[in-house]
Amino acid sequence: MAAVDHFSLLYREISRSCSFYMEALALVGAWYTVRKCVSLALDTYSMLRLHVIPKLGCEVDLVRQYGQWAVVTGGTDGIGKAYAQELAKRGINIILVSRNKEKLEAVSRTISETYNVETEFIVADFSKGREPYPAIKEALKDREIGILVNNVGMFTDYPDYYTNLSEDTLWDTIHINIASAITMTHIVLPGMVKKKKGAIVNISSSLCCRPTPLITIYGASKTYLDYFSRAIHYEYASKGIFVQSLTPNTIATNMVAFNSWLNKRSFWIPSAEEYASHAVSTLGLSTRTAGYWKHEILFMLAQRLPEWMWVRLSLYLCGILRKQALHPK
């Protein structure tokens, strides 16, 4: 009987302890569930505020908020051209900066005639290091720039291993993807601070959220832009300056012309015009956004993937793209 009594007491003590731990685990589970529900609700609200409400006629008056003139680098093709058109559609005068004079003249004339705004252009080759900036600074000195779009950028011919890239490619990436944005910002920002309003848009990439092998140098340059954008926003937000980091996924432009599938518009891959229409609507609303609701979903998923899974997936997919580029059928 003594043994039975001891077992009964032991059982009751174990049951009491288990009950306590079960209740504690239930509280942890409830807290985790509530936290995730709140996070999901906030993400949903953010998506609606950024990508739905502006499309319902609640767009920001960009001219009143920032000024009459916008500078767009790399504005003769792809995202830059489409973004300039969207700004012009909202009544903003455009200054295009690129290296091809013939394209600049054609795009500038088309925007002016289509949207009835003033347009100007500056011929500049950003791959030339410090060479183009004195002329750019001189050309902009009498203009009150309200918006600067640092769009100019370059990608390697196709995904490839870092040691296969030439030194020219490395320097061009630094000059075009990084130096252009920070130097153009340095030229334009003092005028914005003086009039206490302005916006700077830096075109980064969704690759900034994770290290992506075979696209190393491009991804690193876009990570730099994302960091630069967020940090400088904190520096100058109190002075009336809004700085936005756009982190798009793949867009059907000449940058991905090495692959016919990536260069073709699909559900997840918008045209430059479609992307710009959404991205401009987020200006003034979010300092860091993919700019397009479908890309926002992809960006959130990429952030939540374990890094090892992202890396393996990137190696596999980029390896396929590299193979297709080297051995086209």
Task: Kindly tell me if the per-residue pLDDT of 260 is higher than 90.
Answer: no
Cα 257 from chain centroid (whole Å): 20
- Which pTM was predicted? 0.86
Residues counted in the chain:
329
Residue 290 lies in a domain: yes
Task: Kindly tell me if the per-residue pLDDT of 1 is higher than 50.
Answer: no
Task: Kindly tell me if the per-residue pLDDT of 52 is higher than 80.
Answer: no
Residue 257 lies in a domain: yes
Q: Which domain holds residue 316?
A: 60-326
Residue 51 lies in a domain: no
Task: Kindly tell me if the per-residue pLDDT of 5 is higher than 60.
Answer: no
> Which CATH number fits the domain that encloses residue 115?
3.40.50.720
pLDDT tens-place string over residues 170-220 = 999 999 999 999 999 999 999 999 999 999 999 999 999 899 999 999 999
Exposure letters 115-145 (e unless 16+ CB within 10 A, then b): bebebbbbbbebbeeeebbeebeebbeebeb
Residue 309 lies in a domain: yes
Q: Greater confidence, 306 or 40?
A: 306
Which pLDDT score, from 0 to 100, does residue 16 have?
Answer: 63
The domain total for the chain is: 1
The full DSSP string for 259-312 is -TTTTS--SSS-BHHHHHHHHHHTTTT-SEE-SSHHHHHHHHHHHHS-HHHHHH
Q: Where are the beta strands (DSSP E) in the chain?
A: 69-73, 93-98, 119-123, 145-150, 198-203, 241-246, 288-289
The full DSSP string for 198-229 is EEEEEE--GGGGS--TTSHHHHHHHHHHHHHH
Is the sign of the CA dihedral 173, 177, 182, 185 positive or negative? Answer: positive
Structure tokens at 180: 């252009």
How high does pLDDT run on average in the chain? 89
Residue 252 lies in a domain: yes
Look-up: residue for tokens 């942890």?
28
Distances (CA, A) of 71 to 23, 81, 96, 225, 285: 60, 11, 6, 18, 20
Q: Which of 44-48, 60-64, 203-207, 269-273 comes out lowest in average pLDDT? A: 44-48
The angle at the Cα of 94, spanning 179 to 255, to the nearest 5 degrees, equals 50
Is the sign of the CA dihedral 175, 299, 287, 71 positive or negative? Answer: positive
pLDDT > 70 in the chain, percent:
84
Structure tokens at 318: 């980029």
Nearest-CA neighbor of 107 among 69, 150, 138, 78? 78
Residue 181 lies in a domain: yes
218 catalytic per annotation: yes
Which pLDDT score, from 0 to 100, does residue 61 have?
Answer: 87
pLDDT tens-place string over residues 117-155 = 999 999 999 999 999 999 999 999 989 999 999 999 999
Confidence of residue 12 (pLDDT cuts 50, 70, 90): low
Structure tokens at 54: 């502006």
pLDDT tens-place string over residues 280-326 = 999 999 999 999 999 999 998 888 899 999 999 999 999 999 999 99
Residue 43 lies in a domain: no
Residue 36 lies in a domain: no
Structure tokens at 204: 């980064």
Q: Which of 132-136, 234-238, 243-247, 254-258 comes out lowest in average pLDDT? A: 254-258
pLDDT > 90 in the chain, percent:
74
Which pLDDT score, from 0 to 100, does residue 71 have?
Answer: 98
pLDDT tens-place string over residues 73-87 = 999 999 999 999 999
Catalytic residue, from 83, 133, 218, 275: name it: 218
Task: Kindly tell me if the per-residue pLDDT of 96 is higher than 80.
Answer: yes
